[in-house]
Amino acid sequence: MVVSHPEQHRGRWRPRLDRPALVALLIGLAGVVYRLVLTLYTVPVSNSDEATFGLAALHIGQGRERPIFLYGQHYMGMLESYLAAPLVAVAGPSWPVLRLPMLALYAVFLYLIYRLTRRLCTPWFAVFVVGLLALGPERVVRDQLTVVGGRPEVKPAVLLMLLITVGLAAGTIRRRRLAVAAFGLLVGLAVWSDWLILPYLAVAGLALVWAARRELLGWSGLLLVAGAVVGVAPMIVDNLRAEPGADSLSVFREISTKAGPLPPWSERIRGGLLEGVPLAHGLCPVDGCGRWQQWFGVLYPVLLVAGAVLAVLAYRRAAGSRGERVGPVVQLALVAGAGLTLLSYVRSPLAATSPLDNARYLSVLQLSLPAVLWPLWVAALTAWRGTSSVLGRFTGALSTAVLVALTATTLVITVFFAASGTAASRTEERQARELAAALRANGPHEVYGDYWTCNRLIFNTDETVICGVLDGDLSPGQNRYRPYWRQVGSAQRPGYVVEVGSPMDRRLRRLLADRADAAPVREVGGYRVYHPDTPVRPWR
């Protein structure tokens, strides 16, 4: 299927888009512009996790650090920080600058999923998929725009791998060995960046083996391995240097087993399907799904099965050439990737105990949207053309209703978020900027605070203010970048930045006792800043 073809006009070469491609382009641009506006207003709200990536980008741009994993971790790759580092080095630290590479990755994701869907299905169905992905409630755009590691970059990587597989099977790629090497490089980078994508990498690898198994026995196989090794090289280097028990696998295994006792399967499946799946696809506001919004989670396993059956039937009906059969194979891979991702998610206790906070781990299911919705599109199209039986027409009408309901729900939640859901984020960002400006201008420049205050404060002040993390009981907290903690620890008169009325605020006032009112105190943006004459360090 041709998306565009060149047109010679007065000596100049111009690509001319057909109607579906033009509509998809306009819808995609609208989605990008919508997210650009959110980016400029720092919506969704920033936090200290994202600030840690921003500080790493700042350090990379200044040549001070070359981090492989997120500060304080050994399993979350820093590709997003490296992408943002040149921009932060030129323009200085700011949230819009930090998020611009994520916006570019989203645009690439839209383009690639349009190309893949059009190749596997039909042009207008590809437009429909782009339209759904152009919408964006808070849960969806948070995963797409915030710099918190992994998901924005691995989704385009998987789509590009699948397009390479399609091209190899169809014979449309000339430099086949180079394409296989690129496939391996993308696998390595994705593994370094985020292990949550492993199910999709596995099925994409199987699809590649199906498409080019004979070639992989020769030089192409060696290039595939070489590309993967180059991509994952940062992780390999770090793990070779790590102390026993500090390697990526050990750390990830330890974190996975800290979630507490395992709830029943029924609770985990309920949290994964009825909360996680609708949230990941933008059918619910960020604070949870109502019962009327959980229908897609109930339907999702049925659609996976229907998508698998349709792919198998298409494979059996296709001619014997790989070019004819690669479409159903890739569709089956997308269905399997979604199923394995869901299975991996519901195995965790967090699927039941904290489904709202952890639904972000299912954002990769957007990759499988074409394969999941294709059965509905086929049934609806067959019924509208009048080529089906009474049962077929009923199924088609029902499928049409599901597609309309899916689109309408996502649109309503997106409009609701854009109209009224951004106010809280903008207020919180304004307060954070007020705090940063006050401390930057008048000090103190070495302070203690809680985790969700510290690194965001450091990033907002371009490291003019340095913050050490304390827990609510004023004991040392999660200090991801140890030099900050040491700098505040050596300060002669550190300050304390606490939320008004928080446990840390109350604990600090008790420790200051009679000095609580005598110590210089001021309130800025919902925070209380203490600057006692002598430091309060109860852990020493």
Question: Quick one: 402 and 522 in the same domain?
Answer: no
Domain boundary among 386, 421, 456: 421
Query: Average pLDDT, stretch 433-462?
Result: 95
CB 169 within 8 A of CB 213: no
Query: Average pLDDT, stretch 421-425?
Result: 87
Query: Average pLDDT, stretch 369-393?
Result: 88
CB 531 within 8 A of CB 495: yes
Question: Quick one: 153 and 48 in the same domain?
Answer: yes
Give the pLDDT of residue 129. Answer: 98
Taking CA atoms, 353 is separated from 259, 284, 349, in Å, by 9, 18, 6
What value, to the nearest 5°, has the Cα angle with vertex 13 and ends 12 and 15? Answer: 140
Q: Does the structure show a pLDDT above 90 at 239?
A: no
Q: If you search the block for the tokens 């709830």, which residue do you land on? A: 263
CB 7 within 8 A of CB 387: no
User: What band does 256 get if pLDDT is binned at 50, 70 and 90?
Assistant: low
Question: Quick one: 483 and 400 in the same domain?
Answer: no
Query: Average pLDDT, stretch 488-499?
Result: 94
User: What band does 260 get if pLDDT is binned at 50, 70 and 90?
Assistant: low
Instruction: For residue 36, tell me if it sits in a domain.
Output: yes
Question: Quick one: 295 and 375 in the same domain?
Answer: yes
Question: Quick one: 347 and 417 in the same domain?
Answer: yes
Question: Quick one: 451 and 383 in the same domain?
Answer: no
Rounded to whole angstroms, the Cα distance separating 232 from 189 reads 6
Question: Quick one: 509 and 473 in the same domain?
Answer: yes
Taking CA atoms, 326 is separated from 108, 159, 212, 309, 331, in Å, by 23, 14, 11, 15, 9
Instruction: For residue 272, tell me if it sits in a domain.
Output: yes
Rounded to whole angstroms, the Cα distance separating 193 from 105 reads 14
Q: Does the structure show a pLDDT above 90 at 253?
A: no
Question: Residues 6 or more apart from 40 whose CB is under 8 A from it?
Answer: 96
Rounded to whole angstroms, the Cα distance separating 451 from 467 reads 9
Question: Quick one: 233 and 298 in the same domain?
Answer: yes
Give the pLDDT of residue 2. Answer: 41
User: What band does 402 get if pLDDT is binned at 50, 70 and 90?
Assistant: very high
What are the backbone angles phi and psi of residue 12, rounded to the nearest 5°?
A: -115, 140
The percentage of residues in the chain with a pLDDT greater than 70, rounded to a whole number, is 94
Domain residues for the domain of 360 are 19-248+263-421
pLDDT tens for residues 111-133? 999 999 999 999 999 999 999 99
Check: pTM over 0.85? Answer yes or no: yes
Question: Quick one: 184 and 117 in the same domain?
Answer: yes
Q: Does the structure show a pLDDT above 60 at 8?
A: no
Rounded to whole angstroms, the Cα distance separating 359 from 279 reads 6
Higher pLDDT, residue 443 or 4: 443
Instruction: For residue 152, tell me if it sits in a domain.
Output: yes
pLDDT tens for residues 132-185? 999 999 999 999 999 998 789 999 999 999 999 999 999 999 999 999 999 999
The type of residue at 62 is Q
Q: Which helix (H) or strand (E) holds 4?
A: strand 4-9
Query: Average pLDDT, stretch 318-333?
Result: 90
Query: Average pLDDT, stretch 430-444?
Result: 93
Rounded to whole angstroms, the Cα distance separating 312 from 302 reads 15
Instruction: For residue 46, tell me if it sits in a domain.
Output: yes
User: What band does 393 get if pLDDT is binned at 50, 70 and 90?
Assistant: confident
Query: Average pLDDT, stretch 393-405?
Result: 93
Give the pLDDT of residue 118. Answer: 97
Query: Average pLDDT, stretch 40-50?
Result: 94
Residue 334 zone, left/alpha/beta (φ > 0; ψ -120 to 50; rest): alpha
Give the pLDDT of residue 268. Answer: 92
Domain boundary among 364, 388, 421: 421
Strand segments, DSSP code E, in 267-362 are: none
Domain boundary among 421, 455, 473: 421
Structural domain total, the chain = 2
User: What band does 514 get if pLDDT is binned at 50, 70 and 90?
Assistant: low
| Residue 274 C-beta-side C-alpha neighbours within 13 Å | 11
Instruction: For residue 13, tell me if it sits in a domain.
Output: no
User: What band does 13 get if pLDDT is binned at 50, 70 and 90?
Assistant: low
User: What band does 288 get if pLDDT is binned at 50, 70 and 90?
Assistant: confident
Instruction: For residue 435, tell me if it sits in a domain.
Output: no
Question: Quick one: 29 and 147 in the same domain?
Answer: yes
Give the pLDDT of residue 232. Answer: 94
Give the pLDDT of residue 198. Answer: 95
User: What band does 64 get if pLDDT is binned at 50, 70 and 90?
Assistant: very high
Q: Does the structure show a pLDDT above 60 at 1?
A: no
Question: Quick one: 350 and 227 in the same domain?
Answer: yes
Question: Quick one: 193 and 280 in the same domain?
Answer: yes
Query: Average pLDDT, stretch 457-485?
Result: 95
**441 exposure class (CB count in 10 Å sphere: 0-12, 13-18, 19+):** exposed
Listing DSSP states for 110-131 in one string gives HHHHHHHHHHHS-HHHHHHHHH
User: What band does 251 get if pLDDT is binned at 50, 70 and 90?
Assistant: confident
User: What band does 257 get if pLDDT is binned at 50, 70 and 90?
Assistant: low
Give the pLDDT of residue 15. Answer: 60
Average pLDDT, rounded, for the chain: 91
Give the pLDDT of residue 215. Answer: 92
Q: Does the structure show a pLDDT above 90 at 208?
A: yes
Query: Average pLDDT, stretch 65-75?
Result: 89
User: What band does 356 get if pLDDT is binned at 50, 70 and 90?
Assistant: confident
Q: Does the structure show a pLDDT above 60 at 20?
A: yes
Instruction: For residue 198, tell me if it sits in a domain.
Output: yes
Instruction: For residue 129, tell me if it sits in a domain.
Output: yes
